[in-house]
Amino acid sequence: MELREIAAFIQVAQLKSFSKAARQLGYSQAAVTIQIKQLEQELNVHLFDRIGKQTTLTHQGALFYEHAVSVMKELEHARDAVTHVSELTGSLCLGTIESICATIFPELLREYHRLYPKVNIRLITDSPETLLEMMNSNAIDIVYFLDKRMYDSKWIKVLEEPEDIVFVTASGHPFVGRDSLDLDQVIGQPFILTERNASYRFILDQYLAAQGKEIHPFLEIGNTEFIINLLRKNLGVSFLPEFTIHRDIISGELAVLDVRDFYMRTWRQIVYHKDKWVTREMDAFIRLARS
């Protein structure tokens, strides 16, 4: 039994596809098929059911998968324990949403690159649902997202921080400084909002719908930085996580509106798959993000 056969088996099991596993490993599909066949012959069991385009683990395959993942994790730990190379030179694939990418990631990645300049980083932005699905299929190493608290037995969560979501506008707007504004007053203003699939936009829409209300933005766009630039020009009101406009609040360019009996919160979260081999590149990113 060779380690490359075990690695091929794990990839096929996680991606549920021989062709996808081959692309991930840089092999031909035929090579992966041969490796799995050799492994099945040595174990004298059938590891996968292949019915049409569906590839799923058999009962014996599922049992072997748990041990195979454990073996590869221990091997990775052993390599880290004996290596004398302190410099990180591998790759890292991160998934995040647009608002975090525009506001938190520039400084975070600048510092990561300063510390580990030889690591190749690939960044994917999409909705939390899409990113988490990609992580579950081993297409992304780590997902950094913003949403309600989410848990799954397949994940390891390493960060969960609360974030207030607020109504925000330019400091020169006539509503700024007024106490206990009525919600109807605020949502009647010209609004610039993120697209409906943004987690905090969805939270607002659901909250308003429960009260028989709705909001009609004059502009919807997925670019948070563009929204903030329009707010600075006093072109309307928006609804954003407070961390995205923190610097503008401090500088006095933007201001949070005081809306009576309205309080909304979401959560910044970082997760990776429990079966993922945590590379040194991943561990370094997690430690930096949590700090």
| Averaged pLDDT, 213-234 | 94
Per-residue pLDDT, 86 = 67
The C-alpha atoms of residue 74 and residue 243 are separated, in whole angstroms, by 39
Per-residue pLDDT, 2 = 85
Per-residue pLDDT, 71 = 87
The C-alpha atoms of residue 285 and residue 44 are separated, in whole angstroms, by 41
Interhelix angle 29-43/18-25, rounded to 10 degrees, is: 110
pLDDT category of residue 81 using cuts at 50, 70 and 90: low
| Averaged pLDDT, 182-186 | 95
Q: Is the pLDDT of residue 181 over 80?
A: yes
Per-residue pLDDT, 218 = 96
The residues pairing with 51 across neighbouring beta strands, listed in sequence order, are: 54
Q: Return mean pLDDT, the chain.
A: 92
Q: Is the pTM of this model over 0.85?
A: no
CB 16 within 8 A of CB 48: no
Least confident window among 48-62, 206-220, 249-263: 48-62
| Averaged pLDDT, 161-165 | 96
- Overall CATH class of domain 162-264: alpha beta
CA dist list (Å): 135 to 37, 111, 113, 159, 264: 27, 24, 23, 16, 28
Backbone angles phi, psi at 42, to 5 degrees: -70, -40
CA atoms within 13 A on the CB side of 141: 19
**Strand pairing category for 264-273 and 155-170:** antiparallel
Q: Where in the chain is the domain with CATH 3.40.190.290?
A: 162-264
pLDDT category of residue 51 using cuts at 50, 70 and 90: confident
CA atoms within 13 A on the CB side of 168: 27
The C-alpha atoms of residue 146 and residue 7 are separated, in whole angstroms, by 32
| Averaged pLDDT, 6-25 | 89
Q: What is the pLDDT of residues 17-38, one digit of tens each?
A: 998 888 888 889 899 999 999 9
Per-residue pLDDT, 165 = 96
Q: What is the pLDDT of residues 233-281, one digit of tens each?
A: 999 999 999 999 999 999 999 999 999 999 999 999 999 999 888 999 9
> C-alpha angle 161/167/173, rounded to 5°?
140
Per-residue pLDDT, 207 = 94
Q: What is the pLDDT of residues 127-144, one digit of tens each?
A: 999 999 999 988 999 999
| Averaged pLDDT, 46-73 | 88
Give the CATH number of domain 1-82. Answer: 1.10.10.10
pLDDT category of residue 91 using cuts at 50, 70 and 90: very high
Q: Where in the chain is the domain with CATH 1.10.10.10?
A: 1-82
Q: Is the pLDDT of residue 85 over 60?
A: no
Per-residue pLDDT, 172 = 95
Q: Is the pLDDT of residue 178 over 80?
A: yes
Between 3.40.50.880, 3.30.9.10, 3.40.190.10, 1.10.10.10, what CATH number should domain 89-159+265-288 receive? 3.40.190.10
> C-alpha angle 47/49/50, rounded to 5°?
125
pLDDT category of residue 83 using cuts at 50, 70 and 90: low
Size of the chain, expressed as the number of residues it contains: 291
pLDDT category of residue 73 using cuts at 50, 70 and 90: confident
Q: Where in the chain is the domain with CATH 3.40.190.10?
A: 89-159+265-288
CB 147 within 8 A of CB 128: yes
